[in-house]
Amino acid sequence: MEFRCIQDCSQCCIEREYYPEKRFGKIGVLILPEEKEKIKQFAKMNKLDLLILPRIGISNKKDPTLIEILAFQMMGKEKNGNLCPFLNTDTDKRSPHGGFPCRIYDDRPLACKTYPLIKSDPMTLDQKCKFCKEHKTADENLDSEIESLLKIKNKMNTDAPFVWRYATGIGEEEDKFQIKTGWILEECDKIMG
């Protein structure tokens, strides 16, 4: 079956999840270090406020002060972490499938170009995507998503002995007591999240 966005859907640009657990807070859109400056420039050109936090770091010693950042994340603009700042909800214009338009669609981060693909072998789509909720899976029309996913995987490949994940401190008000902020030592097999 071919992958096609569901008519009028903008869910993946609006909703953010707690990952890998609630204590890490809600995650943002993954931004590779080489994408960060470009994204900041786009925000400036569009007069948008942007919050970019670290996402994944590595170190040779078990010391968070020595971390090299492998990936950042662009946080949602709402207090609870939802809603990408680049999603244009103030316009009558719509994307080709009818959702709200992305202000930087052609230059959107690789992570956006990858979604809803989360694994290429075996091909696995994020079951939270509205298409997947309706159709479970797809195996056609995903070439550019596969290419983008492989680029991210390649950039984030590491032999570093210590991998860290940044807890964002952001989430729903009622969850705040469980959510941490700052680096937490991670297991290596979870690095792509």
Return d(Cα 164, Cα 62) in angstroms, integer. Answer: 10
> 148-162 b/e with 16+ CB inside 10 Å = b?
bbeebeeebeeeeeb
Least Å distance between CB 130 and ligand SF4?
A: 4
Q: Does 158 bind ligand SF4 (CB under 6 A)?
A: no
Q: Does 116 bind ligand SF4 (CB under 6 A)?
A: yes
C-beta closer to ligand SF4: residue 76 or 163? 76
Q: Does 156 bind ligand SF4 (CB under 6 A)?
A: no
From candidates 31, 53, 129, 138, binder to ligand SF4 by CB under 6 A = 129
Q: Does 99 bind ligand SF4 (CB under 6 A)?
A: yes
Contact 109, 115 (CB under 8 A): no
Work out whether strand 162-168 and strand 123-125 pair parallel, antiparallel, or are unpaired. Answer: unpaired
From candidates 27, 87, 163, 191, binder to ligand SF4 by CB under 6 A = 87
Q: Does 131 bind ligand SF4 (CB under 6 A)?
A: yes
Torsion angle defined by CA atoms of residues 153, 27, 128 and 151, in that order, rounded to the nearest 10 degrees: -20
Contact 74, 51 (CB under 8 A): yes
Q: Does 56 bind ligand SF4 (CB under 6 A)?
A: no
From candidates 50, 51, 69, 102, binder to ligand SF4 by CB under 6 A = 102
Return d(Cα 156, Cα 23) in angstroms, integer. Answer: 23
> Which region among 43-51, 63-71, 129-137, 157-165 touches ligand SF4 (by CB under 6 A)?
129-137
Q: Does 164 bind ligand SF4 (CB under 6 A)?
A: no
> Which region among 17-25, 45-53, 111-119, 149-157 touches ligand SF4 (by CB under 6 A)?
111-119
Q: Does 146 bind ligand SF4 (CB under 6 A)?
A: no
* SS3 assignment for 121-158: CCEEECCCCHHHHHHCCCCECCHHHHHHHHHHHHHCCC
CA dist list (Å): 64 to 29, 39, 157, 165: 23, 26, 19, 10
Contact positions vs ligand SF4 (CB under 6 A)? 5-6, 9-13, 29, 84, 86-87, 99, 102, 104, 108-109, 112, 115-116, 129-131
